């Protein structure tokens, strides 16, 4: 995440007893830095993943990644700062993954406004899924796994959906774009949306709300359908080490071109993604426990028989634990699942069938800090899928990662 270090002041205190028992005054604290830079380098390697369980795009895996990330924070005064993040992945050209202005109209009050390519409001993992904040290498399924839905290409029938079960890494439908391309995750945890957000309150209760161009599944820089997403999150910290969160969002996900290719008889209805989420974190002693769940639904047009008679839904959740074995060494594990509602077509004997293939994942590993800013991780991961292609049902993956930051 973009670090908020621009708000931190380095305070040097030197108290000395003056003659006569009077304390000498402390020297004045230096002013906060105007410009702050951060650098993170990640190198991840893993065994083969023939089932594409970890793909974030066609041919790109979250477990096989070389990434250089640069964070920049420019303080514009006591009430404003400009923050940016640039990335270069796998030796490709750099991209600007975040750029936003943060305003604090009342510096002594817990209230700020952010505008631009902004941090996510919905959920918890997307705000801590970077570097050392993620104890494992992969992302939870609901933040990464590619479903068979697309924003630019739409199914005409239930059979069109069912024939693409388990093929989110490369899908194709008859309405809209004719190209084969990746599907949408439930939440695109590795990309940020463009818009504006406000945050009000601090401990024990805070509220965040935003309006943005894309959706949870498809964050965007430029609007592609004339719609907007509204999302919000309520966070409660009832006691030290305990966090509870609740999130909600609604946004139009179908592109203008795909909607324009629909039959005129359907009108120009907005096809939306709606989502509800809940998360919790508890830390005590050497333990950190985290859990999160999301229910999402997408509107799908009813074009031809056999019809998709209702919105298609997905539900996902994970449970994660981390234990500090000794200074510099920790062990971690995560189990998570992604399930899908049923549709009925002529395939699979005409029986009601999940519109995409349900998936389970278990991952365990360890991390060791060679230095304060150099972390090594090793993991074992196993995936299960109710697949439709030979060899896509179950597989194990081993991975390692080196993480260096300044």
CATH number at residue 143: 2.40.160
Q: Do the strands 65-75 and 35-46 form a parallel or antiparallel pair, or are they unpaired?
A: antiparallel
Instruction: Report if residue 362 sits inside a domain.
Output: yes
Query: Is 50 exceeded by the pLDDT of residue 11?
Result: no
Give yes or no for residue 388 having a pLDDT over 70.
no
315 in a domain, yes or no? Answer: yes
| Four-residue CA torsion sign, 127, 130, 131, 133 | positive
Instruction: Answer with the residue of higher pLDDT: 270 or 102.
Output: 102
380 is a domain residue: yes
Instruction: Specify the pLDDT at position 130.
Output: 67
Residue 94 lies in a domain: no
Percent of the chain with pLDDT over 70: 90
Query: Is residue 231 scored above 50 in pLDDT?
Result: yes
Residue 91 included in any domain: no
Lowest mean pLDDT among 1-10, 29-38, 44-53, 60-69: 1-10
Q: What is the pLDDT of residue 23?
A: 42
Position 393 scores a pLDDT of 81
**pTM listed for this prediction:** 0.88
d(CA 223, CA 256): 9
User: Does 131 reside within a domain?
Assistant: yes
Give residue 128's region: left, alpha or beta (phi > 0; psi -120 to 50): alpha
Confidence grade of residue 15 (pLDDT, cut at 50, 70, 90): very low
Does 12 have pLDDT greater than 50?
no
Q: pLDDT tens-digit profile of 298-342?
A: 999 999 999 998 999 999 999 999 999 999 999 999 999 999 999
Q: Supply the pLDDT for residue 19.
A: 40
Residue 1 has pLDDT above 60, yes or no: no
Among 67-71, 119-123, 263-267, 279-283, name the one with the lowest average pLDDT.
Answer: 263-267
Q: Is residue 214 part of a domain?
A: yes
Instruction: Name the one residue in this structure whose structure tokens are 């000395």.
Output: 16
pLDDT confidence band for 21 (50 / 70 / 90): very low
Please state the rounded mean pLDDT for residues 211-237: 94
Number of domains in the chain: 1
In a domain, 20, yes or no: no
**Residue 120: pLDDT band by 50, 70, 90 thresholds?**
very high
- Residue 132 is predicted with a pLDDT of 82
Which residue range is the domain that position 245 belongs to? Answer: 47-58+125-405
């Amino acid at each position: 995440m973009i670090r908020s270090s621009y708000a931190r002041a380095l305070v040097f205190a030197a108290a000395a007893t003056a003659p006569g028992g009077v304390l000498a005054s402390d020297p004045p604290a230096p002013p906060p830095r105007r410009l702050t830079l951060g650098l993170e380098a990640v190198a991840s390697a893993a065994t083969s993943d023939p089932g594409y369980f970890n793909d974030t795009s066609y041919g790109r895996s979250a477990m096989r990644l070389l990434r250089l990330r640069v964070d920049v924070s420019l303080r514009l005064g006591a009430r404003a700062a400009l923050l940016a993040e640039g990335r270069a992945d796998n030796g490709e050209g750099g991209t600007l993954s975040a750029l936003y202005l943060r305003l604090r109209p009342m510096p002594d009050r817990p209230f700020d406004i952010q505008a631009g390519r902004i941090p996510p409001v919905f959920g918890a993992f997307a705000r801590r899924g970077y570097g050392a904040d993620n104890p494992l290498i992969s992302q939870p399924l609901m933040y990464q796994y590619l479903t068979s839905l697309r924003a630019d290409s739409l199914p005409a029938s239930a059979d069109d959906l069912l024939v693409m079960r388990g093929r989110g890494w490369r899908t194709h439908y008859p309405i809209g774009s004719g190209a084969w391309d990746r599907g949408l995750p439930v939440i695109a945890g590795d990309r940020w949306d463009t818009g504006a957000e406000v945050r009000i309150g601090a401990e024990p209760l805070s509220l965040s709300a935003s309006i943005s161009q894309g959706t949870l599944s498809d964050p965007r820089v430029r609007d592609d359908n004339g719609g907007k997403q509204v999302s919000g999150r309520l966070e409660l910290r009832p006691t030290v080490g305990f966090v509870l969160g609740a999130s909600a969002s609604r946004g139009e996900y179908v592109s203008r071109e795909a909607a324009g290719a629909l039959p005129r008889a359907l009108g120009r209805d907005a096809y939306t993604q709606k989502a509800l989420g809940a998360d919790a974190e508890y830390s005590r002693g050497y333990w950190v426990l985290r859990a999160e769940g999301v229910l999402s639904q997408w509107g799908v047009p009813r074009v031809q028989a056999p019809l998709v008679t209702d919105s298609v839904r997905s539900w996902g959740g994970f449970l994660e634990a981390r234990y500090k074995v000794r200074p510099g060494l920790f062990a971690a594990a995560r189990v998570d699942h992604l399930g899908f509602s049923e549709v009925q077509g002529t395939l699979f004997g005409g029986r009601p069938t999940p519109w995409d293939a349900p998936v389970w994942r278990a991952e365990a590993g360890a991390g060791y800090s060679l230095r304060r800013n150099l972390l090594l991780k090793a993991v074992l991961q196993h995936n299960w899928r109710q697949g439709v292609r030979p060899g896509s049902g179950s597989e194990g993956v081993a991975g390692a990662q080196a993480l260096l930051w300044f």
